[in-house]
Amino acid sequence: ARRRVSAALFDLHPAADHASRIAALWGEYDHELLDTRELRALAASPNEAARVEIARYFLDTNQKGVARPLVSGGQTLEARSLAALAAIADGETAVGAAEAERILAQDKTPCDALLARSAAAVATRRWSEAILAAHSAAAACPKQSSAPRAPAKGDNGRRADAGRGESARLLRGRRL
């Protein structure tokens, strides 16, 4: 079964929702996903939609080191936004924040760029900016399963390793 799912990812033309469904299945039934060889092949694949969705899965499951190579050098705003978020998750806050701001200068709505802005603000302890960016992300993408949340009472933001899912966990508390 794993081979068939992996083969579906390497298909050159699956739609983004197809890759998203595969990632959701993996998340529910199989936590080992791809081996090193398969990850390298996916990173080299021209199928950006699959790379984005699988990188998103890895960020959501706090496997940040695996996510970044999948979206680095991406061409779409979505891939670039996710790469910015992955850079912040990898501890390169300035790199990720700068890319997120370049993206948001072009388009104010990419959810992952807004989450990257929020994660960068959390990493640098700028709580008000983090909340505003998280609120913008929640407003722009209300159906997103890892919608950002406001900081809970007593949350001093000690963890600055925010990825997309990690950003939502960092900003835990009440929904905005």
Q: Is the pLDDT of residue 119 over 70?
A: yes
pLDDT of residue 53: 84
pLDDT of residue 10: 62
pLDDT band for position 170 (cuts 50, 70, 90): very low
Q: Is the pLDDT of residue 89 over 80?
A: yes
pLDDT of residue 155: 45
* pLDDT one-digit tens code per residue, 64-86: 888 999 999 999 999 999 999 99
* pLDDT one-digit tens code per residue, 96-106: 999 999 999 99
pLDDT of residue 48: 86
Interval 115-120 mean pLDDT: 95
Residue 58, strand partner residues: none
Residue 149, strand partner residues: 175
DSSP string, the chain: -HHHHHHHHH-S---HHHHHHHHHHHHHH-S----HHHHHHHHH-S-HHHHHHHHHHHHHTT-HHHHHHHHTT--SHHHHHHHHHHHHHTT-HHHHHHHHHHHHHH-S--HHHHHHHHHHHHHTT-HHHHHHHHHHHHHH-TT-TT--BPPPTT---------HHHHHHHT-SSB-
Q: Is the pLDDT of residue 127 over 60?
A: yes
Q: Is the pLDDT of residue 154 over 80?
A: no
